[in-house]
Structure 1
Amino acid sequence: MSNASIDFQQVHKHFGEKAVVNNLSFHVRPGECFGLLGPNGAGKTTTLKMLLGLTAPDAGTIRLCGEPIPERARFARIRVGVVPQFDNLDPDFTVRENLVVFGRYFDIGTSAMQALVPTLLEFARLESKADARVGELSGGMKRRLTLARALVNDPDVLILDEPTTGLDPQARHLIWERLRSLLTRGKTILLTTHFMEEAERLCHRLCVIEEGKKIAEGAPNELIASEIGCDVIEIYGPDPVTLRAELAPLAERTEVSGETLFCYVKDAQPIQSRLAQRTDLRYLHRPANLEDVFLRLTGREMQD
């Protein structure tokens, strides 16, 4: 796609005999948030490394900000901000110093950075922590500082690798608010996350990969409709396998995961009437969501 901010076309990457990325194609349009989802080991990290020119593909073409990768990765990265999965802030510096020093990688002069820092601190809501050392910050503050640091060069594209992992709900919601504000400013975001609520809230489109292959792509609401297409009743209690045999004729589809029975229903009333007679069970009737899609596509069993 010629005007895409990110364009992956039939990309392959092997490590030994293992295909880590297998004929993967997707594109990210300017100004959209695109989610790259998959279980652990699906190839997401390798995909990001290839996008940034840190690992060369075995085959296929990659373009980032219009530049061919890895040939002109250095030029593309001038227009890109990266939030890594784990914070790599300098613990010996203050909040302000972390921003100023990072600006030097983009040849931003000290005076220009000093003028820019207040805007970045305001964006991250860290004005009162400007002179605090990194070790004095909470986990949420560190993630906001890492996000602010990624904006030092006013990038066109932001690549966020699990930006809210380990954060409490308040900190996570604040990060989401900041990311939405970046989208309103026309920034392009590529997001990897294990939080399906995060992907559903932020992403215009997303791609689900497993074992390096794309297994689904589309807008969250479209995938929910096409892959699930009905409501869900989650039932918690003893012996879900026996309960499944009892309720399966009343549902479109059923699944068991641990102590939970999932019933996918067009009409919830028959199952709810049956459950009303049971005092040993708890249940939740809800609309289908992106987590249902993800688990249906990739399975409910734990993957290493």
Structure 2
Amino acid sequence: MQFRYEAQYVAPSLQQKVANGTIIQQRALIGFVADAESPTDAYLLPVRVAEIVAAECVAEVFLFKLRVTDHVDLDDYSLSRAEIATESRKAIDKIKEGNGVYYPALLKFPTFPIRTSGDQAQLWISVARRLALHPYFEKTYFMRVDQPVHLTSAHEFTFGSEGRLSLGDLQPARLPVSFYAQHYVEAPKIALTCETDGRFLRISSDASHDVALRYDSTEFWLQPDASSFDALTHVTIRLGPEDNGAIPVTSVTFPVIIKHSRVRLVSRVIISALGAFLVAAPAILGLHSSLALRIVLAVAGSAALSTGSLPLSGGHADTGSA
């Protein structure tokens, strides 16, 4: 996740930490803030905890790259918009007191009554319910994409420091997705879809689900295609109506690296070399050697060459609704 701020929106103390590099690997609290100057409608809600993996200033613009970690526990927060607005006004005033003025990106802020322990799915729902109280999100469908897991085991695939998911060329993965909305709408039709490039990474489950509930969970199956080289592709998960309108579209895209197996590549080279030798063996042995032996060697060599030149594929998972 990346945030960009013009220098005027970054507190001087944070600018200094970016300059000397001490902000890297520090924890950050991501929040939603609206109407910060309003005496009655201010809205401040902590949303997510993250780790800062990179920060720099380029042409008076500060760039922050974050790796999101935990959701926050908002059980101590009211489910009343008016009460949240009242507490938000107090928190923003404290931020101004500690920093002189209000900055969207800062180091000094009051302690919020939050925790990060607990079931992450439930914490996410808790955050979504309170965000949906604000007019900006009242018609929004919220979406949560979990860590991909192996198709046949509980092994989780991890994202690298640059936010890239790495999959082996024969490592199919399940991508769990959940969604939530404060209000269900019958029209326009809402769909949850998954898209890939279709070449290096395919979807081996249903690629689209019609949304007929306020909240539910499903999963998409991802099937890497074997190739002779590493490939960089992407996955896009989209939730919303087909055409942009009154209901906002929620979308997330992340890069995926498909890594070709070096062991299988070496095996193919060895098999091909062996096949070439066996095909040439009858000529090396000469006409005085056994005809049957020469035929067997030639056939075996041809089979080895064919095997070595075949594209490796792990097969395709059965298509079905996840």
Larger Rg: 2
What TM-score results when the alignment is normalised by the length of structure 1? 0.27
Larger RCO (CA under 8 A, 6+ residues apart): 1
Of Structure 1 and Structure 2, the greater helix share is in 1
What TM-score results when the alignment is normalised by the length of structure 2? 0.25
